[in-house]
Homo-oligomer: A and B are copies of this chain.
Amino acid sequence: MTNIILSKSEENYLKSIYNLSDSGNKIVTTNSISKILNIEPASVTDMIKKLSKKKLIYHEKYKGTKISKNGIIVALQIIRRHRLWEVFLYEKLNFNWDEIHEVAEELEHVSSDQLIDNLDKYLKYPKIDPHGDPIPNKLGEVDFVDKISISDLKIKEKGIVSRIVNEDEGFFNLLNKLKIEIGTEVTILDKIDYDGSLDVLINNKSVIISKEIAENIKITKI
Contact = CB atoms under 8 A, between A and B. Distances in A.
Interface in A124-176: none
A10 to B, nearest CB: 16
Contacts of A111: 106
Interface residues of A, number: 18
Interface stretch (A21-29, A91-99, A180-188): A91-99
B114 A95 contact: yes
Contacts of A93: 115, 118-119, 122
Contact of A115 (B103, B110, B115, B119): B103
Interface string A103-122: 10011001110110011001
Contact of A103 (B99, B103, B112): B112
Contacts of A118: 89, 93-95
A44 to B, nearest CB: 23
Contacts of A112: 102-103, 106
A99 B114 CA distance: 10
Interface of A: 89, 92-95, 99, 102-103, 106-107, 110-112, 114-115, 118-119, 122
